[in-house]
Each structure stands twice: as structure tokens, then as C-alpha cells.
Amino acid sequence: MVSYKIGIYNRKEARIIDLDKITKIKSLDKLDELTSTFNSEEELKTYLFNQELISLDEMEKKLSIMYKNNGKVKKLPIVYQDMKKYLDIVYLKAKMMAAAQDIELLEKLARHYSIGSDKFNPQGVNVSDIRMYISDFRSNGEKHFYSRALELALDDMWKKAVFKLVDKKTGEVKENYRGSRDLGMFLYKYEKTLEKKAEKQETKVEVKTEKVTEPEWEQTTLFDLINKQEEIKEEQKKWVLSSEGEPDFPPNSEEERNYKRYLEELDELANNEPIENHPHYRR
């Protein structure tokens, strides 16, 4: 029976973290139950540090689940709380059926379960029907209609990933935890990649649309302000006041519009800092 352990594994080191102080579990499903109670790797590492199971330096290193295969150390991703639903085989089936509408995901699934893949490959998974559908889609594009054969191929892939035959005579099967976990982590990673791409795209759009405004004093010089005041004074001389003390213009006339602009400019000047504070002001 394969023994799974939490550890630190990279090109320079492979150190198993001794969990005997907190648990005796060694099976993959029980380890997942433990780690999925934590929200993140940071939270898990903080817990292990407080239990004196990892050093302060190791707080900066990535945790993995480690096991041996043919004498070589292999690693698997750790399952945290937001990943737990990807271990539910019913949830996985819904995701697999939805994959029929996602050509990019179909291509990745076909590569993932291809013969010779270095990933975990449940016995008997056949990707030929999926590859035929992808080829047909690439040839016909939007004219291609939904394929019943593809639906059956995805259902078959799901079954062979999450179940294993235990009795050929009776056809009895039981859940293949390692297979369902591998499929779940594959789908989780794919969806997280899509989310990151969408976030990057949104960031690019925000950067392009953001308008950078320079400080007011960099846009307006002292000379500009004096000229504007003189222009307003000249305009005032042309206006004839009504009995209420307001200029008397025909409605919607050019003169009325100029007067409204004049009021706006007065407000703008009033909101400016005192002219003595202008960087170009000289007494």
C-alpha cells in the first residue's frame, strides 16, 4: 500500500514532515480531510510551525504531498478548503459533462489521459472519440453540432477515472480515490488558470482606460490666469444688465451661452489656490 506524507519537496531537498505528533494517518483521503480544514497553505504552515513541525525558514517553502513510485519520490498538490468540492464525484461528473462545450478543456483532457502521459492514468480511459470530435470541430467550426458520441466518451472517462473494477464476474466497482482526486485537481487547476487570465485581461483594460490627470498648477501658468481674467473683464463690458442685475440675453443665444461659461470660469478661478502660491508667481 502506498504511503502518502506531507513534506517539502523541490530540486534541492525532499523532507518529510513528521505528523505523528498530531495524527497517525498515512492514507491520501485522510490527509485530504485534514488539509481541507485549512483555508490556505499559509494557514497550514502557520499551524505546523506552532506545533514545532517546521522551522521559520521552511515557512517560505512550498508544501506538497509526497509518495514513492518505483523507488522515485513523487509529489501531489495539497487540497485546501476551496478545493474540497473537486473531490466530490457527482460534482466532477457535472464538470465533465459541461466540458463538451469547452474545446480548450477537451484538448487538455485528451492530452492528460493520453497513453504515455506522466500523469496518473486510470486503466482503460480512451480519448480517441474526444480527439475525433476536436478534429471535426476544428474542421467545421461553428457549423459543428453537439455530438452524442462525445457525451458518451466524457461519461466513460469520468467513470474510469473515479471507479475501479473489483470483481469482473459481478461487475462490482468501488471508488478509485486516487483517480477521482487526480481528475478533480486537473479541473481545479484548469479553472484557476482561466480565472487568472480573466483577471489579467481586466487589469489591461483598466490600465488602457484610466485617464492620468496632471496637477492643476502644471496645466495652468500665471500668465494664463492673468490673460483669462482680462478676457472676462472685456466680456463684462459688452453685457447689458436687466432690472434684476443679470445680463438680459435672448434665450439660448450665443451671448447667453458665453455668460454661462463666464460663470463657470469664475467658479474655477475661485477654486484655485491663492495666486501667491503659484510656483511661477514672483512679487
Say if residue 59 is in the same domain as residue 151. Answer: no
Say if residue 143 is in the same domain as residue 203. Answer: yes
- If phi over 0 gives left and psi between -120 and 50 gives alpha, with beta otherwise, what is residue 180? alpha
Q: Residue 121 has what pLDDT? A: 55
Of the candidates 183, 207, 231, which is a domain's last residue? 207
Say if residue 191 is in the same domain as residue 223. Answer: no
Q: Residue 235 has what pLDDT? A: 64
Is position 40 within any domain?
yes
Q: Residue 107 has what pLDDT? A: 92
Of the candidates 31, 62, 82, which is a domain's last residue? 82
Q: Residue 283 has what pLDDT? A: 44
Is position 283 within any domain?
no
Question: What count of other Cβ atoms lies within 10 Å of the Cβ of residue 182?
Answer: 20
Q: In what order do the strands lie in the sheet with 72-76?
A: 14-16, 5-9, 63-69, 72-76
Query: Under DSSP, is residue 221 helix (H, G, I), strand (E, B) or coil?
Result: coil
Of the candidates 48, 82, 116, which is a domain's last residue? 82
- If phi over 0 gives left and psi between -120 and 50 gives alpha, with beta otherwise, what is residue 243? alpha
Say if residue 148 is in the same domain as residue 226. Answer: no
Say if residue 139 is in the same domain as residue 249. Answer: no
Is position 282 within any domain?
no
Amino acid 85 reads K
Domain that holds residue 95: 88-207
Say if residue 154 is in the same domain as residue 231. Answer: no
Give the count of domains, the chain. Answer: 3
Long-range Cβ pairs for the range 47-51 (8 Å, 24+): 48/17, 51/21, 51/22
Per-residue pLDDT of the chain in tens (283 residues, 90 and over written 9) = 788 999 998 777 788 998 988 888 889 999 999 999 999 999 999 999 999 999 999 999 999 999 988 888 899 999 999 999 999 999 999 999 999 889 999 999 988 887 544 455 555 677 888 888 888 888 876 545 567 888 888 999 999 889 988 888 888 989 999 999 999 999 999 999 999 998 888 877 766 666 555 555 445 555 565 666 667 666 665 655 554 556 666 777 777 777 777 667 666 655 554 544 544 444 4
